[in-house]
Amino acid sequence: MNRQQKERLAQFQGITGADAGVASRCLEAAGWSMEAAIDVYYSNGMHLRGAYGPRIDKNAIQRLYKKYSAADGEENIGVEGISLLCSDLGVEPDDAVVLVLSWHLGAEAMCEYTRQGFEEGMVKLGCDSIDKLRAKLPTLRAELQDPPKFREIYQFAYVFSREKGQKIVQLDVALAMWDLLLPPSRWQHIEAWKEFLHTHHKRAVSRDTWNQLLDFIQATKPDFSNYDDSSAWPYLLDEFVEEMRKQQQQQQQPDPITQRAAAAALFLRNGPALTAAGMESQTVNFGDSGEVTMYEPASRELVLVFKDSGLSDGAGWATGPKRVPTLEVFVYTSEAPAELVDAWAPLSNGSSTAGLLADAVAGFASEDPLTVTCLGEGPAGGLAMLCGVWAAIEYPMANADVATFATPYQGFNPQFAWSFEQLVVLHHLWPFNIPAPVLPAGVDAATALPRTLLTATAAALKPLINKETLPVAVVLPNLPEFAPKDLQEPGKRTFEEIYSALGPDPNLPPEYQMPESDCPIMFCKTRFLLRGSCLGFRDAAELKGLPSVTLKDNKTNADAIAVWDNATDTAYLLWKYTEESRDWLTDAAGIQIEGFIEESEDRVEGREDTLLTLVDDPETHQGFTNQFRSLVLSPKSVESDMYAQLMILSGGKAPRRVACSGFSLGAALSELCGVWSAITWPSADVTVANQGGPIPGSKDFKLLFEALVGRAYKYAYRMDIVNSAPPLAWYKRVPATIWINDTQALLQDRPFFDFLDLSWDDHTCDTWTNPKPPPEGGYTITGYVPRLYNVTRPSIPAWFGVQALAWSGVAWMGARLLMQQQQSQADEGPRPECESCGGSGTVECWCSRWSDGDGGCSTCRGSGRMVCSSCRGGGTAVPIEARIVIRNERSDNFRQGR
């Protein structure tokens, strides 16, 4: 048996649960075709296993029946018994696999198993214990992806759903069953179908309609272009298609960025409609006029909507900046408008994140959230921005996202901007007001269903989200440069010299540092990803026993692992590192090519190439793109199709969270994966964490990554050479790098060392010993994963945390003197508006004088705006300038600050 046959044998066993002998016989009979072998397995009854597996203990099955029927005190197993069975199996009662199990157990009614059906079904399944039945669940779940089996299960579900003595299924029961069997990943129009029935049908569902709906789904294209009105479809389907065609003429499916903006606007403007539709919500009042409404759209997802009628319109925000207490342990010099800081004060206890808001969330949500989205409109959007940094610190396992509309960006100093960029994963600060949705004739906004409002809001937002507004929404205008100018290109200075010069500050008082923790922010939520993408390809135990499948394309040598966590609806997509000779050829193919976005959107049914109206076609590394294509965009088989295999693992359920990770070559693929995931599942929260990764794309890819994913967690170890590859100017790194050494993790992009001064020795994700004899070898390198598991808190660059702007470094005591002077000036009263920038704190960047429209420079990070030198970004006049020169004890250089 060759290598490919062994891989197919393992895949077959993973899908069917068959033993090696049965799997081998099926594959040989099918000429080693996976699909044909599965057909052989099921069509010949091998899945029953009675004749092929161990002997079945019928007495043990009878004992199981007695256990579960006793829970209800009845002859049959009822609601309580089935609930107990599900608990023993580790699944929820509303999991689709329970329906498949009920089919095998011959259930004739919902929530009821008879003795005969249970005992005969268990024998056919080859299970006489809960452990065996639990091990059988992946096989049962896979039957939902087998078309003939799925049809049988689907038809069984109708009979199963009828009340005793009834011949038809009530509408609410039918809708719940369709939710179970036809998730959006199987039929993209399921929500529209349900809404149509609510609006136009409002009656029980006949068996004919139930059965023919499946035929309709399989026979009709997503755009209904091949639907034949003269065919013998039920009249209800004729009316549904007519309604959908009307909607399609009015609008097309928006891009994922517009979809996210529309969802945020829906929470802000139409919260009551969401509550009326059944979404849990609770409002907390704070201060004189503030309120925050909490929503839980799905398990472990939290949306916080801020409103405060007492806030001013933002015109005076820049004249009264004030320290943000929540950020005292992160960057203690972070400032925001005093009015916002004071309005937020009742929600948390000083510099602690504990307080009213944390207590309210604890009482509202069943578990700590994994996603927190903070929303605000107008001045209240400033509270949403403070919420973003608060949530990132309070919930270290969660992604914190922020969306605002027409919120003035004034009075936030560069330290706050940098902290916001580091802590918040995805942010959209839209510079316009939410437009009124244009609803269909006869539909009232007060009574419209959320889906109708969402569609209409997206259509209204579409013209406002474009190439001009997108960069404004995702790039903060006053972010500092990534390092002091004299350290951006170190020249021949050593790693130790540069790392020491960049920080952290050893003299910083404890109250201005993050406390050490077993679950530190940023690192806690990325450790499993980094460990899995480093070690999971060699040891499946690293995947924590979660269902997984390994994918490989033999032509491009692409390798990946898809992992599914049903408890949190999370897909982990892990990409393999450079290992074989063809991988090195992939790394070397440094030409950039177009087409990645178009191909990604082509795989999403019913969507146009709409992202290309928001950004120029991003270019990506040819070698990396070809590997990604082979497993995602144009796979050659179902076995190597990432999307198809993930749907098998999840039972057709779309993920609510997607996490992409990789090391080396796999790190670059993880960034492509992040963008593709955000396009494929617009409602999902996407995380990208990688280590030792090269740069996969152009400046347009970077912008699109920031708009779809936000920030990545890109770990660079010491002088790892791969982090700077390819060493070509047109490759642009996505944010944000975390530079680690033996003991620290510095939130700092690595300066531009000469490529030849970098090291291959620092490029290892695990512990590695050089096999060569001393002096050339014999030493041990401890790589990324062991180092990151020792990190107990992030380190803040000293040069940045203590200065007012991104000038060359200033020592901590000097900054304290400067801030005392600024405070005394603030006490004297408000200063006049800066004449140079008109109070905005930013001016046109120098690069606009010579740029040919290629996206700006490192100073403005592509925004075309830079910090005003007259007011230093504060928006107000600065009458006195203090110049401080302090000798740095760690080097012979002098640092100057203003």
53-66: pLDDT as tens digits: 457 888 999 999 99
Alpha-helical (H) ranges within 769-811 are 784-788, 798-801
At residue 36 the predicted structure's pLDDT band, cuts being 50, 70 and 90, is: confident
Q: Is pLDDT above 70 for 43?
A: no
For 309, phi then psi, to 5°, come to: -70, -15
The CATH code belonging to domain 3-51 is 1.10.8
- The residue among 199 and 786 whose pLDDT is bigger is 786
Cβ atoms 338, 401 nearer than 8 A = no
Task: Give the whole-angstrom CA distance, residue 369 versus residue 362.
Answer: 10
Domain range list for the chain: 3-51, 58-251, 256-480, 515-585+611-769, 833-846+857-878
Average pLDDT value for residue range 863-889: 48
- The residue among 780 and 80 whose pLDDT is bigger is 80
Residue 876's pLDDT is 60
User: DSSP for 69-128?
Assistant: HHTTTSSSB-HHHHHHHHHHHT--TTSHHHHHHHHHTT--BTTBB-HHHHHHHHHHHT--
The CATH code belonging to domain 256-480 is 3.40.50.1820
Task: Give the whole-angstrom CA distance, residue 677 versus residue 868.
Answer: 38
User: For every residue of 25-74, which 3-state class applies, written as one string?
Assistant: HHHHHCCCCHHHHHHHHHHCCHHHCCCCCCCCCHHHHHHHHHHHHHCCCC
The residues with which 305 forms a beta bridge, in sequence order, are: 293, 375
Average pLDDT value for residue range 625-641: 94
Domain 58-251 matches domain 256-480 at the CATH topology level: no
Cβ atoms 306, 290 nearer than 8 A = yes
Strand order in the sheet with 745-746: 548-553, 558-565, 570-575, 657-663, 685-691, 713-717, 737-740, 745-746
Strands 685-691 and 657-663 turn out to be: parallel
Alpha-carbon dihedral 10, 16, 18, 23, rounded to 10 degrees: -60
Task: Give the whole-angstrom CA distance, residue 665 versus residue 587.
Answer: 7
Using CA of residue 802, residue 480, residue 256, residue 460, what is the dihedral sign? Answer: positive
At residue 879 the predicted structure's pLDDT band, cuts being 50, 70 and 90, is: very low
Please give the span between the terminal C-alpha atoms of the chain, in angstroms, as a whole number. Answer: 72
User: DSSP for 421-484?
Assistant: HHH-SEEEEESSPPPPP-PPTT--TTT--HHHHHHHHHHHHGGGSSTTHHHHHHS-TTPPPSS-
User: What pLDDT, in 10s, does the model give residues 238-258?
Assistant: 889 888 877 765 556 789 999
Q: Which of 121-135, 184-198, 521-535, 871-885 shows the lowest mean pLDDT across its residues?
A: 871-885
Integer angstrom CA distances of residue 665 from 364, 366, 433, 546, 579 = 42, 39, 42, 24, 9
Residue 868's pLDDT is 61
Local structure of 536: helix, strand or coil: coil
Cβ atoms 746, 737 nearer than 8 A = no
Q: Is pLDDT above 70 for 807?
A: no
Query: Under CATH, to which class is 58-251 assigned?
Result: mainly alpha
Query: Under CATH, to which class is 515-585+611-769 assigned?
Result: alpha beta
